[in-house]
Structure 1
Amino acid sequence: MASEKGVMLLDFWVSSFGQRARIALAEKGVQYEYKEQNLDEKSDLLLKSNPVNKKIPVLIHDGKPVCESLIIVQYIDEVWSDKAPLLPYDPYERAQARFWADFVDKKMCDCGSRLWKLKGDEQEAAKKEMIEILQLLEAQLGDKKYFGGDTFGFVDVSFIPFTNRFYSYETFGNFSIEAVAPKLVLWAKRCMERESVAKTLYDPKKVHEFVCDLKKRLGIE
């Protein structure tokens, strides 16, 4: 097993991207130091560790920083490779997993943000796009237990942190995710039965309160 000496995560509690790293570390049973970050006044450690993007999460392992959540999850999978593999062994299946994780990365956060930032026709367009995203993901899941089949893996880790924002998406977009993508809702419930997920994800209504407070701070009515 790789050394766990000096494993630290720079993160912010509600970050879906940071939650990916926390779930991956939990799946591997890695002990680490968690350092909550103030994103309004970024710490010297964060700026030093990620001078290019200046964003969380950052995993620091033996003094070496790793940035960007999907890269962090892959790093965790490779370094602590003796337990709970997250990426499939087969090269084609690995490529597919990376594709869908990248799809989540590029689509969910941006579209979700537009749901609560915009109004009128623009919000309706965001709502339509969100439904399309969810239905594409549901089609990819199919009748499988997890996205990778019977094993909780890379796509699940990448996507599950966004499910505690489903309540906000539904509230701002005025639609039901269960109605448009029922299999995703069941998948999310299965994932929540895992200790790594249940101990990482915050209550959806607490997340919604954060989003509402953020709207006020940004002056969005």
Structure 2
Amino acid sequence: MLTLYSFGPGANSLKPLLTLYEKGLAFEHRRLEPAKFEHHSHWFKAINPRGQVPALDDGGRIVTESTVICEYLEDAHPTALSLRPDDPWERAEMRVWTKWVDEYFCWCVSTVGWHRHIGNMVKHLSDAEFEEKLKAIPIPEQQVKWRRAREGFPQDILDEEMRKIGVSVRRLDERLADREWLAGGAYSLADICNFAIANGMEKGFPELVNESDTPHLLRWIQRINDRPAAKAMFAQVPRERFEPARAG
């Protein structure tokens, strides 16, 4: 039995979630609540010592890193729907796009998201309470990110990340100008992994993602949202909360 530990259907958690729904695989979903810091709890760090979601348990074998999980599902649990091109060159092209989203696109969007939303989960804490939360975070770089999110990221960093977001959405729009999907001629993990970051950007970044500036990107986003698997996922998996957890 597959068990996926993740947040709601957004960002990196969306990648394996949508992959599982697209492939029609049976799985148990253990949804962690970020506002309760469940991913930093002792029980979850016994599953993934890095304290990060998503994580996949396949009969006791733990797989981490969102894009790696998606590739693992294709390798270990093949289905009639393949989410990787058969042609080696097209498959390499797919991996160029999944690598790009992991190393560039995800990070600039994430920084702005942390500034706007994630910091709200800790701003109400006293300094002592916040320092106690930090002790449970096993990755030093993540501790730094939490400190910045609580204080507010410097404006020069935010400006640079917004510039990178602009580069990213223009690149996607140009790629999709004359094609339905990002790699090869079919829907693949390249689309799922980039959709995980791009979905909803017309609301979060309307100055960059709109009908005038990125019409091809918006068409692609809507096309994926219209897929039966995406509709089922969004209907069945609650969105995550970023406000502070209430006592009790």
What's the counterpart of residue 62 of structure 2? 65
**Residue 92 and residue 45 in structure 1: after superposition, are their counterparts in 2 closer, same or farther (change >3 A)?**
farther
What CA distance in whole angstroms lies between the structure 2 residues aligned with 1:182 and 1:119? 32
Q: Give the fraction of aligned pairs with identical amino acids, expressed as a percent.
A: 23
What CA distance in whole angstroms lies between the structure 1 residues aligned with 2:75 and 2:52? 23
Pairwise CA RMSD: 2.4
Give the 3-state SS of the residue equivalent to 2:212 in structure 1.
Answer: helix
Question: Aligned match of 1:48 in 46, 49, 56?
Answer: 46
TM-score by length of 1: 0.79
Give the 3-state SS of the residue equivalent to 2:25 in structure 1.
Answer: coil
What's the counterpart of residue 21 of structure 2? 26
* Residue 33 of structure 1: how far off its partner (Å): 0.5
What CA distance in whole angstroms lies between the structure 2 residues aligned with 1:106 and 1:26? 25
What's the counterpart of residue 197 of structure 1? 230
Amino acid in structure 1 at the alignment position of 2:19: A
Gaps of 5+ in 1: 1-5, 215-221
**Residue 162 and residue 43 in structure 1: after superposition, are their counterparts in 2 closer, same or farther (change >3 A)?**
same
What CA distance in whole angstroms lies between the structure 2 residues aligned with 1:129 and 1:109? 10
What CA distance in whole angstroms lies between the structure 2 residues aligned with 1:60 and 1:163? 27
Question: Aligned match of 1:178 in 192, 197, 211?
Answer: 211
What CA distance in whole angstroms lies between the structure 2 residues aligned with 1:82 and 1:110? 31
Bigger Rg over Cα: 2
* Residue 150 of structure 1: how far off its partner (Å): 4.0
**Residue 177 and residue 115 in structure 1: after superposition, are their counterparts in 2 closer, same or farther (change >3 A)?**
farther
**How big is each residue's C-alpha offset from its partner over 1:109-141, in whole Å with a ceiling of 9 and x where there is no partner?**
321133352575543332222111111122233
Amino acid in structure 1 at the alignment position of 2:64: C
* Residue 61 of structure 1: how far off its partner (Å): 0.8
What CA distance in whole angstroms lies between the structure 2 residues aligned with 1:120 and 1:43? 32
Q: Is the 8 A contact 2:12 2:196 kept in 1?
A: yes
What's the counterpart of residue 153 of structure 1? 188
Query: 1:142 aligned to 2:192?
Result: no
- More displaced 10-residue stretch of structure 1: 7-16 or 21-30: 7-16
> What count of residue pairs does the alignment treat as equivalent?
200
**How big is each residue's C-alpha offset from its partner over 1:138-184, in whole Å with a ceiling of 9 and x where there is no partner?**
2233311111344211111111122334045316xx44443322101
Structure 1 residue runs of 4 or more that deviate by more than 4 Å after TM superposition: 118-122
What CA distance in whole angstroms lies between the structure 2 residues aligned with 1:145 and 1:95? 18
